[in-house]
């Protein structure tokens, strides 16, 4: 408790901010420009905007948001697939709340629910299993959206469904892996980033070593950090210092939670139930081996096989095939175990893709605060609690005319 109080101590925060600003000034002076830092975590984005850090450091540090919000990076085609599941008779779609209002091309889960579809918000994958157990006449499709943090829990939910002998539970897995998309971002070379704040909760599973390539291969420093203001200020200070001294190693600044090798048990759970394949990311397109898909031996729990690809379900599941016109789901690769899902068009005028690649901040989108607000979201970055547009709108200066 003393430690927690310390991490939220305003006086300590103010003193730390003074030191960070001083360090930022030295680095900016040496570079002859503002330092560009990227946070790759929606919770960090929320903290940075809610504390006003991005404004307070303006002119010295430019903070960009990367692909750190799992709802935001979910591809448009994947959202259309989720909507297609709601139209299957006897299916209940179970989802975390953030997905419900994400706009698809012409609809959303919320709109489908208003039209009579069964869309149930759950707070954990285990809740979705319980829903299936308690409703044996319905098929429950859980939308598996998230990064390394969520995937082990979803793996356990499949295990739980198997132990209960449930034949009416499946997962639409669009889980994504953060290290591959970081590599894709850096390989693209579109945005100059001087340093990264790395997501503490993802690193708790992957370990900080999973991100060592950022320093080793690209010569850019990065710091794994937690989620309090003091955590973030501390990480900013360390990062700025590393930029100043030219030390490019990745630092684990969240040692009380993150081990260098990560959570081995969680990694095993993921390996047991998922294989990695190419995945489509909003803003990035296909990123090699960046998605987690359910292994063949758990096919009966894979909503894609059960409904979309029409593979036989040995448990006697639904004899239905859903193939929305704008989705092309195909098997690829010699082993036949790698799916590629093609994307669909983005909402007109929405620049979420560029935002997720760090090319713009929300104010760079002409729709921000005008046509696109939390009440009338055009893109996912305005919907999700972890989305940069929602955070900037909530805590920044929204355009009101």
Neighbours of 376 (CB within 10 A): 11
Look up residue 96 and give its two tokens.
């975390």
Are the beta carbons of 196 and 220 closer than 8 angstroms?
yes
Neighbours of 294 (CB within 10 A): 25
Asked if 27 interacts with ligand SF4 (CB under 6 A), we say: no
Q: What angle do CA 84, 129, 110 make, to 5 degrees?
A: 35
Rounded Cα distance, 167 and 140, in Å:
10
Rounded Cα distance, 19 and 23, in Å:
6
CB of 286 vs ligand SF4, minimal distance in Å: 21
The full DSSP string for 204-219 is: HHH-GGGGTHHHHHH-
H helix or E strand, kind and range, residue 127: helix 125-134
341-to-3, 94, 101, 201, 261 alpha-carbon distances in Å: 45, 21, 22, 27, 31
CB of 148 vs ligand SF4, minimal distance in Å: 25
Q: Which is nearer to ligand SF4, 202 or 390 (CB)?
A: 390
CB of 219 vs ligand SF4, minimal distance in Å: 30
Q: What angle do CA 29, 32, 38 make, to 5 degrees?
A: 90
Q: Which is nearer to ligand SF4, 210 or 381 (CB)?
A: 381
Q: Which is nearer to ligand SF4, 55 or 347 (CB)?
A: 347
The full DSSP string for 371-387 is: TB-SSS-SSGGGTSTT-
Q: Which is nearer to ligand SF4, 27 or 355 (CB)?
A: 355
Q: Which is nearer to ligand SF4, 140 or 367 (CB)?
A: 367
Contacts with ligand SF4 in 333-392 (CB under 6 A)?
350-352, 355, 362, 365, 367-368, 372, 378-379, 381-382, 389
Q: Which is nearer to ligand SF4, 282 or 306 (CB)?
A: 282
CB of 353 vs ligand SF4, minimal distance in Å: 8
Q: Which is nearer to ligand SF4, 297 or 348 (CB)?
A: 348
3-state SS, residue 142: strand
CB of 400 vs ligand SF4, minimal distance in Å: 14
Residues found in the chain: 401
# of chain residues touching ligand SF4 (CB under 6 A):
14
Are the beta carbons of 228 and 173 closer than 8 angstroms?
no
Q: Which is nearer to ligand SF4, 77 or 379 (CB)?
A: 379
Token pair 């760079």: residue? 364
CB of 105 vs ligand SF4, minimal distance in Å: 14
Rounded Cα distance, 45 and 47, in Å:
5
CB of 366 vs ligand SF4, minimal distance in Å: 8
Rounded Cα distance, 207 and 190, in Å:
27
In 3D space, the residue among 47, 151, 82 whose CA is nearest the CA of residue 385 turns out to be 47
Residue nearest to ligand SF4 (CB): 379
CB of 381 vs ligand SF4, minimal distance in Å: 4
Q: Which is nearer to ligand SF4, 222 or 344 (CB)?
A: 344
* DSSP structure class, residue 334: T
3-state SS, residue 311: coil
In 3D space, the residue among 64, 60, 61 whose CA is nearest the CA of residue 38 turns out to be 64
Site string for ligand SF4, 116-155 (x = CB under 6 A): ----------------------------------------
Q: Which is nearer to ligand SF4, 66 or 362 (CB)?
A: 362
CB of 52 vs ligand SF4, minimal distance in Å: 20
CB of 368 vs ligand SF4, minimal distance in Å: 4
Q: Which residues bind ligand SF4 (CB under 6 A)?
A: 350-352, 355, 362, 365, 367-368, 372, 378-379, 381-382, 389
């Amino acid at each position: 408790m003393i430690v927690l109080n310390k991490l939220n101590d305003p006086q300590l925060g103010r003193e730390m901010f003074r030191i960070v600003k001083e360090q930022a000034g030295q680095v900016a002076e040496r570079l002859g420009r503002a330092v560009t830092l990227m946070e790759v975590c929606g919770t960090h984005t929320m903290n940075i905007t809610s504390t006003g850090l991005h404004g307070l450091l303006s002119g010295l540090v430019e903070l960009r948001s990367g692909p750190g919000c799992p709802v935001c990076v979910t591809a448009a085609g994947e959202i259309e697939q989720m909507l297609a599941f709601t139209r299957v008779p006897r299916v209940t779609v179970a989802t975390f709340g953030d997905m419900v209002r994400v706009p698809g091309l012409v609809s959303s889960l919320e709109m489908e629910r208003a039209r009579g579809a069964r869309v149930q918000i759950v707070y954990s994958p285990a809740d979705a299993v319980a829903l299936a157990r308690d409703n044996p006449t319905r098929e429950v499709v859980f939308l598996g959206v998230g990064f390394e943090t969520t995937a082990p829990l979803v793996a356990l939910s499949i295990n739980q469904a198997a132990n209960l002998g449930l034949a009416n539970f499946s997962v639409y897995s669009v889980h994504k892996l953060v290290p591959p998309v970081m590599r894709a971002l850096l390989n693209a070379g579109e945005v100059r980033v001087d340093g990264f704040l790395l997501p503490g909760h993802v690193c708790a599973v992957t370990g900080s070593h999973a991100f060592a390539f950022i320093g080793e291969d690209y010569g850019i420093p990065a710091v794994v950090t937690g989620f309090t203001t003091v955590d973030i200020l501390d990480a900013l200070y360390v990062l700025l210092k590393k930029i100043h001294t030219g030390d490019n190693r990745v630092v684990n600044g969240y040692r009380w939670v993150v081990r260098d090798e990560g959570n081995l048990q969680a990694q095993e759970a993921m390996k047991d139930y998922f294989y990695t394949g190419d995945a489509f990311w909003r803003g990035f397109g296909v990123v090699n081996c960046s998605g987690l898909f359910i292994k063949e031996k758990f096919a009966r729990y894979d909503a894609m096989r059960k409904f979309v690809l029409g593979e036989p379900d040995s448990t006697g599941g639904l004899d239905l095939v859903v193939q929305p016109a704008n989705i092309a789901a195909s098997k690829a690769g010699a082993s036949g175990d790698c799916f590629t899902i093609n994307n669909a068009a983005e909402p007109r005028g929405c620049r979420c893709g560029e935002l997720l690649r760090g090319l713009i901040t929300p104010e760079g989108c002409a729709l921000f605060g005008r046509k696109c607000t939390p009440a009338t979201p055009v893109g996912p970055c305005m919907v999700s609690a972890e989305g940069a547009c929602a955070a900037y709108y909530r805590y920044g200066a929204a355009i009101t005319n």
